[in-house]
Each structure stands twice: as structure tokens, then as C-alpha cells.
Structure 1
Amino acid sequence: MHFAGHIFEPLASGALFWRAENALLVADLHLEKMSSFARSGQLFPPYDTGLTLKRLSRDLATTGATTLIALGDSFHRDYGPQTLSDADRATIATLCARAEWFWLSGNHDPAPHALGGQCMAQLERGGLVLTHEPRRGTPGLMAGHLHPSAHIHINGRAIRRPCFVHDGQLLILPAYGSSTGNLNILDPAFANLFDFSSLAITMLGRDRLYPVSPKRLIA
């Protein structure tokens, strides 16, 4: 994937590997989402954090990345770090020892924490701006927040899957967390962000990636 003068390698997990920087980028982990629901009386199996961290460990091992950049909403709520299980806390400590971890703040988790790594609002690297919420007018902006998905009609059936999407100026990563939803990129939330005449879409499959023509998109 070519974006803003750089080459990135999208992974079927929803991570993006930046080989030139040996960095792995992920967005919207939403760790401890199920535990936050439990606080409001909605009881779900609390396995989402472990599943997400397991996938993240695998991607770090596969790519050999020595930098990990999480583009905001790493926790579903600010109090997420307090509800981590001992096992999940130990996994995060192991990952922080394996790679330099930059936690960018999101709308769900704006407060810093002390789990290791560096907490900051945004990060500039290689002429790119890495942040949580996408905006138009900043060339080379990489963000998350909107959980993009592509809805297409192919071979007589409709398919909707998370996707990477960019127009050469703005790139939005799919949500990486195991319990996150997604939003069709034809939703009005995306309308004023992209130049749709230059749109490049890479859809996540079960174990591979698929380039998607904007002409195939359906609402």
C-alpha cells in the first residue's frame, strides 16, 4: 500500500506494518470493552482483551516490529487499565518490553496511564501525522476512530468487512479489537473526509486481503 510517499503492508488482522520504521500500527483496540459493559449490568464473556492481545502478540512476532503505535481508543474507557486481569496485564508488560509502545489518546481513553510505553495525543514521524480522529486538510494523516468497513455486492451476494481506506491524503485503519463494530465507508460520517475520486480500499478477509474498487461499494 502506497500512502503519502511511504509503503505500508496491511495485515489481514487489521494491523499495518511500516517496514521502513519497523513499526506496527493498530487502531481502536477497545481493550476491556466487555468489563465496561459488566459495570452497567450487561454481562458478556470477558475474553475480548485476551483475544486482542494474543493477535497483537502474533503480529509483532510475525513482523518483528520494534515499535508499536496504537492510534487511540486502546481502552474502551479510561478506567480500563484498572480492570485488566493479571494475565492480560502481564501480556501488555511483555509487549512493552518487546517493542516501544506509543499509546495515542482517543475519545474513549483520553487520560494517560502507567502500563509502560509513552502516552501522547498524537505522533509525527516520517512527515506523517498519526492521531486518533480523522480530519481533512492535513496531508499524510493516519487515524482510526470510525472503524471503516466496505460493503460490496459480488457473485450474487452482499459482503461487508472491515477495511483500510485512503485517498492519498488521509488513511483510516480498521478497528483492531476483537469486540468492535464497523461503519460502512458510504456512511455520511466519511462524506467530508475523503476525495472519493481517489479512494483506495483494502478489505480484510478471513486470512487474506482484497483490493476493492469504489464502484463496487453499496450503502
Structure 2
Amino acid sequence: MNNLPFEFQGETLHLLPSGALYWPARRLLCVADLHLGKSERLARLGGPILPPYENEETIDRLSHDIATTDPAEVICLGDSFDDLAASRALPATIQNRLTGLMAGRGWVWVLGNHDPGPVDLGGTCRADHRAAPLVFRHIAEPDARGEVSGHYHPKARIVLGGRSIVRRCALLDADRVILPAYGAYTGGMLCDRPELACLFSPRAEILVLGPRPMRFPVAHSSMSPARRNPST
């Protein structure tokens, strides 16, 4: 596997090319922001009609990561579904594939702002999930330590070979990790936006996704070098 290992809170974690996070010592796989059912929700609410392929693409990606890592536990960090109605409208084929992936392992649905309630697919629903020394939640809290979260769908603009490219990324410092969106059709927020930059220290790093994930200091991008209070 072309994983990118890194140290966090005394533990060795691995960022997978897909954007999943794997913790080998705990056999724990973590994914953020699947947004299953997005095309169905947009159509239901009168939005643009998108080809309904995001479910299959996202589940294919998740199936591959589970087959590769064989986790004992999977944590989905919120916004796993585009809303509760979308979770109930998933095609039977997708529901069957999900329940197959869940069989024989712990499965935690951390609640997000798109899916604020339990789903009918099994597993455990929680506001956050603690596995010392780490805590897993959907939205980062400013004073948290050892936190793994999602929500912001971070992406980075970097220059490689004289070309400016934008890719999904994770953000990392001594206190927190923010994972990229895992699902298809999710879009993203550039990591120099104040909503993200204010959460990280000057020594933060950007872990850029790709066939071989790459690691850059924030100085390689235009991300703000100073931590600020996001309430101001």
C-alpha cells in the first residue's frame, strides 16, 4: 500500500491514498464525509440532476480499503449520508453492500450536521468516539487535543513540476488531524480559508492525496501561519 505514515499523539497513523486514516495498533479505519445519497437529495430538493454514481464509487473505495486493512473497527466521522432521508432512500444493492462491510467488525456512525440522527443500517451512533489517546468527532473543537475530525473537506493548491494543482488533503499539527472528504461529489475547501487556518499552529502540515500521498509544511501553500480564535 502507498500509505503515508505519521506520528500523532504518540501513535503511528497512516493516511491512505483514498483519504482514509488507518491506525494499525488498534486495527481501526476512519473515513470522513461519505455523503452517500447526495444525488438523490439534490434531485429531491429540486437541485441539479447528477448521475447517481456516487454511492457505487464511494462504496467501491471503502470496500477496497477494508479489504486491504482488515480493520476490527470502522469509524465514519459524520455526514455519512447527505441527510436522513437519503440514508433511507439508498438502493437495496448499496444497503446490502454496506451491511456486508459491517459484518464481523465494530462500526461507529459519528453524527454530523447532515445526518443528525441514527440510521437503520446497524452499527452504533455517537456524538463522538473516544479511543485513548484520540477522540473522533465530526467538527473540530478549537481547544481539543488528540482530535481527528472531518466536516471541512480540505483541499490544497500546490505547485508540482511548475504546474499548480488542487488536490484533496488532510491537515495535521500536534493537536489535531482534519481528514479530507471520502465520498464522491463532495467538493472541498482550500486550506488557506480562515475557517481552517485558524485551527492550526504555525507548524501544521498538509498531507496531499494522490497515488502516493505527499507531505508538505504549510509554508508550501498560502495557509495562514498563525493560529487565531475562530470565534473572532
Q: Deviations over 1:187-217 (max 9, x none)?
A: 111132111x211221001x22111232220
Number of aligned residue pairs: give it: 217
The answer to whether the 8 Å contact 1:152/1:218 transfers is no
Aligned 1:97-136 pairs, distance under 5 A: 97-136=103-142
Aligned 1:67-82 pairs, distance under 5 A: 67-82=73-88
84-93 vs 35-44, greater mean Cα deviation: 35-44
Q: 2:217 aligns with which of 210, 213, 216?
A: 213
Question: Which secondary structure state, in structure 2, belongs to the residue aligned with residue 198 of structure 1?
Answer: coil
The answer to whether the 8 Å contact 1:147/1:162 transfers is yes
Matched to 1:36, the amino acid is R
CA RMSD of aligned residues (A): 1.2
Question: Which secondary structure state, in structure 2, belongs to the residue aligned with residue 119 of structure 1?
Answer: strand
Q: What residue ranges of structure 2 are gaps of 5+ in the alignment?
A: 1-5, 224-232
Matched to 1:84, the amino acid is L
Aligned 1:129-208 pairs, distance under 5 A: 129-195=135-201, 197-205=202-210, 207-208=211-212
- Cα shift at 1:22: 0.2
167-176 vs 95-104, greater mean Cα deviation: 95-104
CA distance in 2, matches of 1:150, 1:43: 28
CA distance in 2, matches of 1:25, 1:168: 19
Alignment partner of 1:13 is 2:15: no
CA distance in 1, matches of 2:208, 2:88: 34
Question: Which secondary structure state, in structure 2, belongs to the residue aligned with residue 79 of structure 1?
Answer: helix
CA distance in 2, matches of 1:154, 1:175: 22
CA distance in 1, matches of 2:101, 2:218: 37
Matched to 1:59, the amino acid is D
CA distance in 2, matches of 1:152, 1:24: 27
CA distance in 1, matches of 2:197, 2:19: 22
Matched to 1:142, the amino acid is V
CA distance in 1, matches of 2:205, 2:11: 15
Alignment partner of 1:24 is 2:29: yes
The answer to whether the 8 Å contact 2:169/2:209 transfers is yes
TM-score by length of 2: 0.90
Question: Which secondary structure state, in structure 2, belongs to the residue aligned with residue 91 of structure 1?
Answer: helix
Q: 1:47 aligns with which of 37, 47, 53?
A: 53
| Percent of residue pairs bearing the same amino acid type | 39
The answer to whether the 8 Å contact 2:78/2:115 transfers is yes
TM-score by length of 1: 0.95
Question: Which secondary structure state, in structure 1, belongs to the residue aligned with residue 60 of structure 2?
Answer: helix
Question: Which secondary structure state, in structure 2, belongs to the residue aligned with residue 52 of structure 1?
Answer: helix
Alignment partner of 1:3 is 2:3: no
CA distance in 2, matches of 1:211, 1:187: 19
- Cα shift at 1:40: 2.1
- Cα shift at 1:98: 4.1
The answer to whether the 8 Å contact 2:172/2:207 transfers is no
Question: Which secondary structure state, in structure 2, belongs to the residue aligned with residue 75 of structure 1?
Answer: coil
Question: Which secondary structure state, in structure 2, belongs to the residue aligned with residue 116 of structure 1?
Answer: coil
